[in-house]
Amino acid sequence: KRASIGPAERTFLTLIGLELRPRKIREASSMWQQVTDAVGLEKRAAIWSHPDLLPTEQDIKDPAKLIERALKQNPDDEIDAALRDLLG
């Protein structure tokens, strides 16, 4: 028999749209370990620098896609350089 969802979990689910279940937590933990092993702590931390880079549920299921995006990140891309020039 499955336990019912608690009020804290229901609130969290409502706020961010994620379901916190033990299986999902294990999968997410495994994903982050794979990402860290593949790209290192600095690039893993950079994933949080922009909403477009944040992991999706699909990334949890297939960490290779998130790893690929993290490896392609270039903090000194043209847009960043242009913004630095513009803002001084």
Contact 60, 27 (CB under 8 A): yes
Tell me what pLDDT residue 37 has.
Answer: 97
Contacts 24+ apart (CB under 8 A), 80-87: none
Question: Is the confidence at residue 2, as pLDDT, over 70?
Answer: no
Tell me what pLDDT residue 74 has.
Answer: 67
For 23-43, what is each residue's pLDDT tens digit?
888 999 999 999 999 999 999
Task: State the angle between helix axes of 63-72 and 22-46 in degrees (0 to 180), rounded to the nearest 10.
Answer: 10
Predicted TM-score (pTM) of the model is 0.62
Contact 65, 39 (CB under 8 A): no
The domain locations on the chain are 23-87
